[in-house]
Amino acid sequence: MTLDMSYEAVMGRKNEIMKKAIGIDYTGFESGGISFDYERMMKEAGYSLEEIQNIQGETGVGNTPLLEMKNITALARKYAPKGKGARIFVKDEAANPSGSFKARRAATAVYHAKKHGYKGVIAATSGNYGAAVASQAAMHGLECIIIQECYDSRMIGQPEILEKQRACEAYGAEVVQLTVGPELFYTFLCLLEETGYFNASLYTPFGIAGVETLGYEIAQQFRDRIGSDPDAVVVTNAGGGNLTGTARGLIKAKSEGTRIIGASVDLSGLHMASDHDFNRKSFTTGHTGFGIPFATWPDRADVPRNAARPLRYMDRYLLVKQGEVFYMTEALAVLEGLERGPAGNTSLTAAFVLAQEMDMDQTIVVQETEYTGAGKHPMPQISFAKQNGVEVLFGDPDSEVPGKNIVFPDDPGSIKLREFDLEKARRSYIRNSVAKCGVTGEVSAEDVSFLAAETKTDEGFVRSVLADL
Amino acid sequence: MEQARKGDWVQVRQTVLTPEGRAPQVPDDTKKTPLLLWVKGFAQSDGKIGDDITVETMTGRKVTGELCAIDPRYVHDFGDFVPEFLKVDVQLKKLMKGEVAR
C-alpha cells in the first residue's frame, strides 16, 4: 500500500510520525488538563548534568572561555551615572566545534539518536543549530539532513542562511531548502517518514538539558575567577531554549541570586511567514518574531511538549534595535579584538546599557558569541539589506522601522533598552494555555499551580488572570 | 554548456505546494507563490537545465526535480563595502583613544 503523501494526510499522521522520530512518549507526563510534569520529563527523558558534561566532553563541546570586556565596560562607564557601570563578561561560545552554543544542544540530541539506533538525524533550522547537528552527526558517523527556510519566491536567499547551508554541506550533510512558509513542517514530516531518522528537535528534554552545562560553567568560572556568582546573565532569546537551559544550569550550580535577562532584536511589524518581509530583516534569529510567540506559547514547537519554557526563568525581557546590535558588533571587533556574531551580539547590546544601570562592582555575563564569516557578518547583512531597499542611516535608534530602515545610533549613548512587559507575556501565556488545551470549565488547582510555575508568578496572579478571561 | 552528465553534482528544484495548495494561515503575499524546494545530489542521468532528472542526495535519497544548477557555487560573500561601519569604527576608536583598559 502506498502512503497518501498529500498535505492533509501527512499532517494527519503527525503524532504517529513524531512519536517514532523522537522516541519519547510525552503522554506519560501529561495530567490530562493544562499541566504536565515538566521536571519529571526533564529528569526521565533527559540526561543528568554529569552525563551531559561527559557526552559534550567527548566531542570537544563546552568549557568555552569567559572573557572580560574591559574596553566595552570602560565605554559603558562614560555614559553611566557616577558609581555605575557593571563589569561585562562574555562567554565565548564561538569556541565550540561548530562555532556556537548550539553545539551543546546538538551534542546531546545526536548522542541520543545514536544510542537508540537511529541511522541519521533531521533538524529543521536555518541557523547555527543546523551546522551544530551536521558537525555532531559527522563526529558520530550518522547521516544528517538539515531543512532550511532559505529563499523568497525569487530564489534570493538570506546571506546568513546561505552560509549555514555551506557549513552543513561542509560537514557532509544533505541540505533541503525551501521558500518561506510554515508548510516547511510538512516537508519535515515527509522526510522523517521517508528516512526513519531521528528528529533532532531543538526542543527535546535532552536538547535543552544540553544548554544546562553553559549556565553551570558560568557559575563555576565566576567563582574561580571573581569569587562570586554573576549578578546578571543576559541571554539572546528566540525559541527560549538558550535561556531555559542556561537558567537551569545556574540553578543546578546553586547560583540562584543571578538575574536572568532575555534580550531580543525588535522586528515588530515584519511578518515571519511573508514572502515580501523575509529578506527585509537583517536578523534571522534572536528576534521578537520568535521570542514573543515562543515565550507566550512554547508548545508551538515541533515536539508535543517543548522543554524550552523561558517564562519559568526570565526576570526581565529587553528589546534592542537592529542598528544597535550592528553598532555593538563593531565595538566588539574594534575595542575588544573579537570578530563575532552579529546575531549573538543581541545580548551584548542589552548588557552594554544594562551595565549603565548597575553598580560598578556588579557583573553581567553575555552568555554567548557565535562564529562570523562570509554571509554571516555585518557587512553582507547590511549590504543585503540595502539591496532589498532597506535604508541605512545614523540617528535615534527608536526611529528604526524594521523592514524600512536600519538606524545606527549616532553615539553609543543613544543605545537604549526597551522593556518588554513580562506581565503581559505571562497573561498571554495563561490565556493561550486555556485556549489551546480546550479548557472550558473551571481550571483545576493542579493547573493553577502549574501555570504559576510556568510564569514565575504565584497562584493569586494566575487566578486573577483566569478571572479576567 | 548547461548540460549535466550522469554523476555530476547538481541542484534540482521541486514544487512542493502550488499557490492553491498553501496552508490557510499563510499571509496573502506568500499565498500567491508556490512552496519550492531545492536539494543537491549526484545526477542519475544526463540532462539539460530545465529537464526533470533524478539525483541521489548525500544521504542516498533519490529525488526527482527540475535541474537548475550544475556544480552550484556558493553565492554568499562579504557583500559590498559598507562605509557606515567605518564611521562607527572611527567614532569608537576616537571615544576610547588613550583609554584602552588593558
Of B33, B58, B74, nearest to A166 by CB-CB distance is B74
What pLDDT, in 10s, does the model give residues A68-119? 999 999 999 999 999 999 999 999 999 999 999 999 999 999 999 999 999 9
* B74 contact residues in A (CB cutoff 8 A): 162, 165-166, 374
Strand partners, A36: A30
Of A180, A183, A380, nearest to B79 by CB-CB distance is A380
Top-confidence range, A10-19, A22-31, A283-292, A425-434? A425-434
Q: How large is the C-alpha radius of gyration of chain A? A: 21
* A270 contact residues in B (CB cutoff 8 A): none
CB proximity B24 to A under 8 Å:
no
pLDDT in tens for each of the 102 residues of chain B? 589 999 999 999 999 999 999 998 899 999 999 999 999 999 999 999 999 999 999 999 999 999 999 999 999 999 999 999 999 999 999 999 988 766
CB proximity A186 to B under 8 Å:
yes
DSSP helix/strand/coil, A324: helix
Q: Which range (A261-270, A274-283, A308-317, B25-34) has the least confidence? A: A274-283
All cell numbers assigned to A21: 522520530
Of A143, A182, A334, nearest to B26 by CB-CB distance is A182
Give residue A44's pLDDT. 86
CB atoms within 10 A of CB A468: 9
Residues in chain B: 102
DSSP helix/strand/coil, B43: strand
Of B35, B74, B96, nearest to A335 by CB-CB distance is B96
Contact across the interface for B79 and A7, Cβ inside 8 Å: no
Answer yes or no: are the C-beta atoms of A397 and A324 closer than 8 Å.
yes
CB atoms within 10 A of CB A341: 28
Residues in chain A: 469
Of B40, B78, B101, nearest to A374 by CB-CB distance is B78
Answer yes or no: are the C-beta atoms of B33 and A153 closer than 8 Å.
yes
CB proximity B18 to A under 8 Å:
no
CB proximity B59 to A under 8 Å:
yes
**First vs last C-alpha separation in chain A:** 48
CB proximity A170 to B under 8 Å:
no
Answer yes or no: are the C-beta atoms of B84 and A392 closer than 8 Å.
yes
Comparing CA positions, the residue from A64, A63, A65, A66 lying closest to residue A365 is A66
CB proximity A403 to B under 8 Å:
no
* Segments making up each domain of chain B, as ranges: 3-96
Helix (H) or strand (E) holding A206: helix A205-225
Residue of B44 and A269 predicted with greater confidence: B44
Distance CA A396, CA A407 (A): 7
* A172 contact residues in B (CB cutoff 8 A): 58
Answer yes or no: are the C-beta atoms of A220 and A253 closer than 8 Å.
yes
Contact across the interface for B26 and A327, Cβ inside 8 Å: no
pTM above 0.90, yes or no: yes
List, in sequence order, every beta strand (DSSP E) within A80-188.
Answer: 87-91, 120-124, 143-151, 174-179
CB proximity A405 to B under 8 Å:
no
Contact across the interface for A392 and B27, Cβ inside 8 Å: no
